[in-house]
Amino acid sequence: MTKTWLADDVTEAATERILDAAEALYAEHGLNGISMDAVAQSAGCSRATLYRYFENRRALQFAFAHREALRIVEVVGNRLETIDDPLERAVEAVVGAIGEVRAKPSLLAWVVPGQAGQISAVLRESPLIESFTARFVGGRDDIPDLDLARWVLRCIVSLLAVPGSDAAEERRLIERFLAPHLTVR
> pLDDT at position 153, please?
87
> pLDDT at position 142, please?
62
Contact between residue 15 and residue 7 where contact means Cβ atoms under 8 Å apart: no
> pLDDT at position 182, please?
81
CA-to-CA separations, 21 to 10, 25, 28, 105, 164, in angstroms, rounded: 17, 6, 11, 13, 31
Length of the chain: 185
**For the domain with range 1-55, which CATH number is right: 1.10.10.60, 3.40.710.10, 3.60.20.10, 3.30.720.120?**
1.10.10.60
Low-confidence stretches of the chain (pLDDT beneath 50)? 1-3, 5-6, 184-185
